[in-house]
């Protein structure tokens, strides 16, 4: 007996909304990536709790895939951030306006 499932879901939901707020509020591409990491972390917590609730191992397998996807996402995202910083000299998404006319 650890805790009710609902408490774990509430924890993950609060974490997810924190990540959402981080993405919306910050004007810095690295902080946006940090927000995405927080959201993926929350999703992984829900998967683990559901795997324990129904005694199915598929939830844990999904968390393994979440790790892989997060690694790929962060590496590609940081590569794009470095690229765009070289072109514009800024990390503020509002300044990426070279396609505007």
Q: Could you give the count of Cα atoms lying within 13 Å of 50 in the half-sphere of its Cβ?
A: 15
Report residue 86 CA to chain centroid gap: 25
Should residue 75 be labelled a site residue for other proteins when binding is judged by CB under 8 A?
Answer: yes
Contacting other proteins within 5-44 (CB under 8 A) = 5-11, 13-28, 30-31, 33-35, 37-38, 41, 44
Report residue 11 as tokens.
């924890």
Task: CB nearer to other proteins: give 55 or 101.
Answer: 55
Should residue 79 be labelled a site residue for other proteins when binding is judged by CB under 8 A?
Answer: yes
d(CA 19, CA 16): 5
Minimum gap (Å) between residue 23 Cβ and other proteins: 8
């Amino acid at each position: 007996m650890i805790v009710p499932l609902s408490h774990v879901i509430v924890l993950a939901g609060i974490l997810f909304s924190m990540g959402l707020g981080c993405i919306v509020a910050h004007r810095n591409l690295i902080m946006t990536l940090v927000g995405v990491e927080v959201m993926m972390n929350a999703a992984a917590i829900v998967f683990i709790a559901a795997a324990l609730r129904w005694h199915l191992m598929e939830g844990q397998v999904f968390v393994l895939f979440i790790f892989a996807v997060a690694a790929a996402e962060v590496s590609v995202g940081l590569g794009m951030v470095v690229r765009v910083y070289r072109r514009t000299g800024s990390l503020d998404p509002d300044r990426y306006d070279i396609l505007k006319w």
